[in-house]
Chains A and B, each alone.
Chain A
Amino acid sequence: MNNRGVKNLLTLLGLLCIPLFSIYPQTFVQPALGMDLVGPSTFFGELKGGVSTETPAESDTYGRLFGTYDVFGPSANSLRPLKADGGAETSFFIGPWVPFVGLYGGFSSPDGSTGTAYSRLSLSLTGNGEDSSISFATDGTLWYGVDAGAEVAGRLGFSSLVGPLVIKPLLGASAFFVSGLLQSWTLRPMLSLSWYPTFPLQADIGTGWKHSLDTSTTPTDSFPWSVRISAQPRDRWGFMVSADCESSVDRFIGTFEGELTLDLERRAVYSSWVFLRSLGSFDTSVSSSPTGWNLSSGVAFSF
């Protein structure tokens, strides 16, 4: 290789290194103390946190690495499973089109001793216009442990801005396999709305129909719906309420969450806020009263 070839090679290596030195790391940690309000009162501690790093916004190639964890003590339960997730994502900008690849993995345990791990490959192609966007996404997930199996899913979604509303019809389908044999499949047409008014409030609502067919039983139909509202009526005070539910003829399951936050003084290297959070769950096939309810409070730091 002549001098010019060496120079070109070094230039190329230098250019390849630019993204590595341009990444922006961010860390967050949320210690909290809480109490169960259903059943015997039990105090618990929670430590939630994570780290992520991504390429600069002006780059034509987006990349992100992240990891999160959520641990409890002295014991976990179905309302607050032990969790850890991580992943790597990359996307490119080709005119209005954004191809995306994500690789994820994680672990979740409702009781700290048994649990389920997963690995997932996600692919999507999004086309962005000024006031509309269209996206096709597909996922392949391998589940290990208690609920071992494989799941493939696909979604075709459209978004359109109408005044302060983003209207999002979506058609999703998924199939679940165990040992290579089809166990169940689900068809899920959904309609979601995101409201972005000109004052500091934001709401998302979504509903749809879920048709599930288990190969060993009759089909079941249910109606999943969700509501999320967040607002910041004062400079530092904010609140959030959310519900994720699924109703069928003989069953209602759902989780509800409410959170009050008070932003603390922003520092040069971190911001922080105090939160008071309540989380509840219902499953009418188990009980007509809440199956879980807790209250927790803590401080969140974002570096």
Chain B
Amino acid sequence: MDTLDALLDYTRILGKTTDRALSAAGAALRIVAISEGDPSAVGSLAQCLVRSTLGEEDFTTLVSVALKGKRLGITREPFIRLLQGTLDKGGGITSVDRELERRGKN
């Protein structure tokens, strides 16, 4: 509950909607589960989604992006960091896709 409270407070400060916060929380939970990340990363990832340029409808597609990361061997914290790093620098799903393919080749 602390994580959700913190997310709702953060969302309010940014002037975004509660729906966006809840969509971000749901997507972050599934992304962390699929990529086998540390559960403590859910809060920071959800905040990243809330402040990102992505539309709420795009949050659920990131679950599929996590699957691609898993297939390419990019899981856990490296995947969460790749996702947050790319979104925080203004990138969208195309940027995450390109970054996954480049790193997945090695």
Contact = CB atoms under 8 A, between A and B. Distances in A.
Given A133-B94, A159-B98, A238-B70, A58 B85 contact: yes
B18 interface: no
Main secondary structure of the interface of B (DSSP, over half): helix
Q: Range of interface residues on chain A?
A: 35 or more
A195 B63 CA distance: 12
Nearest to B97: A166
Interface in A22-73: 24, 26, 28, 52, 54, 56-58, 62, 64, 66, 68
Max chain A CB contacts within 10 Å: which of B65, B91, B98? B98
B95 A263 contact: no
A267 B13 CA distance: 35
Interface string B45-77: 000000001000000111111011011010111
Contact of B64 (A161, A201, A235): A201
Contacts, number: 122
Contacts of B97: 159, 166, 194, 196
B75 A302 contact: yes
A160 interface: yes
B61 A133 contact: no
A166 to B, nearest CB: 5
Contacts of B102: 100, 124
A160 B97 CA distance: 11
B19 interface: no
Interface of A: 24, 26, 28, 52, 54, 56-58, 62, 64, 66, 68, 85, 87, 89, 93, 96, 100, 102, 104, 124, 126, 128-133, 135, 159-161, 164, 166, 194-202, 204, 228, 230-232, 235, 238, 240, 263, 266, 271, 302
Given A26-B78, A198-B63, 19 more contacts: A24-B77, A24-B81, A28-B73, A57-B85, A57-B88, A58-B88, A100-B102, A126-B98, A159-B94, A166-B93, A196-B61, A199-B63, A200-B30, A200-B34, A202-B68, A230-B70, A232-B67, A232-B70, A302-B36
